[in-house]
Structure 1
Amino acid sequence: MIVVVKNDLNRGVFLVANALGDLYCCVMKLVNVRANKKLKLCPVLFSENGSIAELPSCYLKAKSETNRHPVGVILLYADHIKSFCDYLESLDIYSGHSIDDILCGISRSVISTYLVQLAGQGYERSYIRLRETIISGMFTWLASAEGGRARASSGFESKRLDTPKPKRKRPRYVTQEQLCKLLLRMYWESQRCAVHALYDMGLRVSELVRITKDDIDELDDFPRELAYLPLMVRGSKGAGGEIKERTVIITRAVYSRIKKYHSSPQYRFAYYEGDKPAFLNTLGRPMTTKGVQKFIADSAKRVGFKPRSISPHRLRHGTALTFLTGELGDDHIQKLILIKEQFGHEQLSTTNIYAGVSPFLFVDELGARYVKPRYLEAKKIYDTTYLSRSKEKK
């Protein structure tokens, strides 16, 4: 069995679990890979006998040192490689051999058999494709000069994968009506305000929780007649996991809702050292990504939505729909560019997932083009879902 070792910064140790669930404490040796003065650590793979699986561990270290991937992506690579190594060690034919020796000697047919087995276990095509992509990257590295020519060939010289490329899923949109139902089943205005802001700006949850009170207060000096305001957010998915700032559009209605929430006693009297987050949970502490995801899921369950039909990412798709049907942008291309900038996409090809939904398809019963200003929609959501403190669930 291969175990992924994830470092514990507070304790300075590795926790290694074997097949029986026992814990061993080993002195942790940090892998110093610095990116803009921030320390990044990569996982290490151990075999069942406690020896380090050097080749996959070195590959993960090399991926980390490129500074192109955030820690979460490196850990994702580690989990997929771990599962593959577990499979290899479970085969009787390789009994008594180290995982490094196995990786150096197996042919691509072994990988193909493994992928077929995953398909037989019911894994989705996109999941299997991702795993083969990660495995092929490791084998290509093992056959390279950087990988020490551990393999004579990678087996992937043709660069063609066995698994078919999965079809790109079309976006599933959350409508204004669904959003109102979702918000009305949330217990606290802090939650309703945060999710309305998430939908209004099309943010990732990790970006929402980074907004501070000072960021919102910087908008106070803009003229009151402006329907849209420019808000600076600290975006995710920058190079190497770094924060990438960008400016997004926030409607006047949502800005007003946040300011009203900030004037509430629950927010004003919540003590916080340093830059105070714009959104706090019911205990007066900063909202977390998992916390937001959970109360969205809980509210969706109370409404009676189908499982997984409402999620933060589908709220983001709903934001794209408001841009497509809104008044901003003179044509479809301009609307897509607006979505690209709002969402922080690196390439317009990423935004093209929304290209199949032309705003000209939205017409009323008389055939007139349906265009609804986004700020009016935001105001309607605000008016429909705002509840005073006396009406909130105790």
Structure 2
Amino acid sequence: MSASGVDAFLEMQAAERGAALNTIRAYTRDLADMDAALHARGMTPLTAGESDLRDYLSGLARQGLAARTQARRLSCLKQYFLFLAREGMRPDNPAALLEAPRLDAPLPRFLSEPEVTELLAACVPEPDATPARGRRLMVAKAALEMLYASGLRISELLSLPRRAVDAAPGMMLVRGKGGRERMVPMSARARAAARALMALDAGRESPYLFPGRSARQPMTRQGFDRILHDVALRAGLDPQRLSPHVLRHSFATHLLAHGADLRALQVLLGHADIATTQIYTHVMLDRLRDAVAQHHPLAQQHD
């Protein structure tokens, strides 16, 4: 597919936009699928027109692909054909006017504040817990305190170096998507839990705050999921309701419910676009209704 500029496009995504490996792999599959479909019609990405791409996308719908998958494919095609046009490999962009299927944006799942409290309380080991059990719960305590206090993505949490805890008081430097760095708050409770884990793990000599089986590697997502599953059961919560992203959603939802600003939340979460943060506005509806009822000059008047 290199003759169609795919290799150069993928290199640009990785080098200039900092696309993750999984994103590059998804784009590779998507473009290979499109290339095969166009080839069957006697076309290539350099000769296909808008109608050819519409037919390809319609075929995805007939295959039963979910609307979200179709939208992801279209996003890839739009970026790819824009790249071809900008590089002079095509005189036009046949994907420019293509529209994605409508998506019903699901509301983010989150825990209630009492449920978060129960979850953190479940990280306290029993007096007769084995050293291995005690450390496992200490890992859970530090991770959950930091996820809930800072709104971190799980990838950001597990890649944290030990030195992150020693940053400016109350703040922590995090490297997020695309290599973008941002400062996030770190509560006193989260810092204390992290320092307790660091003290326990001092002999491991790992550069990571959450080391894996090998001290030179961070804990895997799968390893953390198992810990989270166990803590959910200890707290009496359905493990299916709990994930690192649910804790991130809980962080955002609870902040907004207590009056946080949406723009500030965007910065804290590391969202490049405010539209991504707006999925949390559902929690603001009651507060907005109350504000109108209390402060609008006509709210207290009756017919």
TM range (shorter): 0.7 to 0.9
1:347 to partner: Cα distance: 4.2
Select the residue among 250, 264, 268 that pairs with 2:202: 268
Q: Does 1:354 align with 2:295?
A: no
Q: What root-mean-square deviation, in Å, do the aligned CA atoms of Structure 1 and Structure 2 show?
A: 3.4
1:62 to partner: Cα distance: 4.4
1:110 to partner: Cα distance: 3.0
Q: Which residue of 1 aligns with 2:297?
A: none
Q: Which residue of 2 aligns with 1:38?
A: none
Question: What does residue range 6-17 of structure 1 map to in structure 2 within 5 Å?
Answer: none
TM-score, normalised relative to structure 2: 0.73
Per-residue Cα deviation, 1:105-124 (whole angstroms, up to 9, x for no partner): 33333322322232233322
1:218 to partner: Cα distance: 4.7
TM-score, normalised relative to structure 1: 0.58
Structure with greater helix percent:
2
Q: Which residue of 1 aligns with 2:109?
A: 172
User: Given that residues 132 and 163 in structure 1 are in contact (C-alpha distance below 8 angstroms), is that contact kept between their aligned partners in structure 2?
Assistant: yes
Per-residue Cα deviation, 1:102-141 (whole angstroms, up to 9, x for no partner): 2233333332232223223332212202212322332344
Secondary structure at the aligned position of 1:168 is classed as: coil
User: Given that residues 110 and 250 in structure 2 are in contact (C-alpha distance below 8 angstroms), is that contact kept between their aligned partners in structure 1?
Assistant: yes
Q: Which residue of 2 aligns with 1:324?
A: 256
Select the residue among 35, 42, 50 that pairs with 1:85: 35
Q: Which residue of 2 aligns with 1:103?
A: 45
Higher relative contact order (CA 8 A, sep 6+): 2
Amino acid at match of 1:164: P
User: Given that residues 324 and 359 in structure 1 are in contact (C-alpha distance below 8 angstroms), is that contact kept between their aligned partners in structure 2?
Assistant: no
1:300 to partner: Cα distance: 7.8
Q: Does 1:313 align with 2:252?
A: no
- Whole-Å separation in 2 of the counterparts to 1:208 and 1:134: 28
The percent of aligned pairs where both chains have the same amino acid is 22
Amino acid at match of 1:254: A
Q: Does 1:76 align with 2:76?
A: no
1:182 to partner: Cα distance: 5.6
Question: What does residue range 188-337 of structure 1 map to in structure 2 within 5 Å?
Answer: 188=136, 189-218=138-167, 229-237=169-177, 241-244=178-181, 246-264=182-200, 267-272=201-206, 276-281=207-212, 284=215, 286-288=217-219, 290-291=221-222, 294-295=225-226, 298-299=229-230, 305=238, 307=240, 309-326=241-258, 332=259, 334-337=260-263
Per-residue Cα deviation, 1:321-357 (whole angstroms, up to 9, x for no partner): 231344xxxxx4x432432232223444432222231
Moved more, 124-133 or 165-174: 165-174
- Whole-Å separation in 2 of the counterparts to 1:121 and 1:300: 40
Q: 1:177 to 1:116 in 2, by over 3 A?
A: farther
Structure with greater strand percent:
1
- Whole-Å separation in 2 of the counterparts to 1:300 and 1:131: 37
Amino acid at match of 1:146: E
1:177 to partner: Cα distance: 4.5
The total of aligned residue pairs comes to 273
Q: 1:134 to 1:190 in 2, by over 3 A?
A: same
Q: 1:234 to 1:289 in 2, by over 3 A?
A: farther
- Whole-Å separation in 2 of the counterparts to 1:347 and 1:285: 35
Per-residue Cα deviation, 1:67-125 (whole angstroms, up to 9, x for no partner): 12424344432221122223334x3x54xxxxxx6223333333223222322333221
Amino acid at match of 2:226: F
Moved more, 311-320 or 177-186: 177-186
- Whole-Å separation in 1 of the counterparts to 2:239 and 2:164: 36
Secondary structure at the aligned position of 1:247 is classed as: strand
- Segments of 5+ residues of structure 2 without an aligned counterpart are 126-132, 289-303
Secondary structure at the aligned position of 1:155 is classed as: coil
Secondary structure at the aligned position of 2:103 is classed as: coil
